[in-house]
Amino acid sequence: MLEVIGLSTGYGTGDVIHDMSLSVAPGQILALVGANGAGKSTLVGAISGLVAVRVGEVKLDGEPIHRLSAAERVRKGVAHVPEGRQVFAGLTLAENLRLGAYVAEGSANDRIDARMREVCARFPVLLERLDQPAGNLSGGQQQMLAIARGLMSRPRVLLLDEPSLGLSPILVAEIFRLIASLKEQGLAIVLSEQNARLSLAIADHAAVVENGHIVVSGTGAELLARSDIAERYLGVGKGVGVADAPRHEALVARLKQILPGRA
């Protein structure tokens, strides 16, 4: 289990996030919902080691990891898929994937090649293009590559920062279906995402982040059903939550069409 306990940190002399506590267990998705600039990416960076923790702790299976380097956290099982994909456009897909395994697998080519085949079984479009430059991929394919690169390190915790950013609605639905399927591997997934509707639809648990604080938390279904959350974060008007059951049911029905199999 990943635990964040009383965490505060930021940049320069000021804190961006304040006294945050949350947890996510294997086989679960925790969605971080909130506006741009709320502190979601800072929290994800603090978990992965890209942002130094000032106050509080990050624990993995009870072991404190917040003083470890980012590379050491990868070895412990934490993988960070950054905002904006950040693939290496001039390198081939295979080379990008190899970089994802480097810290965990070292330079053993046979193990890395075996892991690449294992990971790409979920991404057949990537498997067909391993020798092509990553810059030739579409935005959606690059996001798949970024996720696949994160999976190359055999993580126990996968941190996803704005995976739908800049994608068309069809590709967004495809990426979210993929994310929902990953927890079947027993991964603990932290999903930082502005697309609150789809995030809550696939999340086991969720936290609303505002001005660096967690202001509301609960299950994804609970937050999706709340009219105040719907008004503020889902881009819909009053009465979409439990106060207006027919409209809420229509929203859930639309989400089910995009993400079949979710309650």
pLDDT of residue 1: 95
- Cβ-in-10-Å burial (0-12, 13-18, 19+) of 203 comes to buried
Return d(Cα 263, Cα 256) in angstroms, integer.
Answer: 8
- Is the pLDDT at 258 greater than 60? The verdict is no
pLDDT of residue 239: 39
What residue spans define the domains of the chain? 2-258
Q: What kind and span of H or E run contains 127?
A: helix 124-127
pLDDT of residue 254: 54
How many CA atoms lie less than 13 Å away from 31 in the CB half-sphere?
30
- Is the pLDDT at 250 greater than 60? The verdict is no
Picking from 59, 39, 60, 62, the residue whose alpha carbon sits closest to that of residue 51 is 39
Pick 185 or 147 by higher pLDDT: 147
What average pLDDT does this structure show over 169-196?
90
pLDDT of residue 257: 59
* pLDDT tens-place string over residues 37-94: 899 999 999 999 999 999 999 999 999 999 999 999 999 999 999 998 899 999 999 9
Strand partners, 24: 2
**77 contact partners, CB below 8 Å, separation of at least 6:** 60, 153, 154, 155, 156, 157
pTM of the model: 0.86
pLDDT band at 248 (very low <50, low <70, confident <90, very high): very low
pLDDT of residue 106: 58
* pLDDT tens-place string over residues 98-130: 999 877 655 567 788 888 989 988 888 898 899
Look up residue 245 and give its DSSP letter.
Answer: H
**32 contact partners, CB below 8 Å, separation of at least 6:** 40, 43, 44, 190, 191, 192, 193, 206, 207, 209
Crossing angle of helices 93-105 and 139-151, rounded to 10°: 20
pLDDT of residue 149: 95
Give the Cβ contact number of residue 177 at 10 Å.
16
Q: Mean pLDDT across the chain, nearest whole number?
A: 87
Give the Cβ contact number of residue 170 at 10 Å.
10
What average pLDDT does this structure show over 237-245?
43
Is CATH 3.40.50.300 correct for 2-258? yes
How many CA atoms lie less than 13 Å away from 158 in the CB half-sphere?
32
User: What does each C-alpha distance from 46 to 80, 98, 227 come to in angstroms?
Assistant: 11, 25, 31
pLDDT of residue 255: 55
In degrees to the nearest 10, what's the CA dihedral of 35, 37, 41, 46?
Answer: -130
pLDDT of residue 243: 42
* pLDDT tens-place string over residues 34-50: 888 899 999 999 999 99
Pick 44 or 240 by higher pLDDT: 44
- Is the pLDDT at 194 greater than 50? The verdict is yes
pLDDT of residue 247: 47
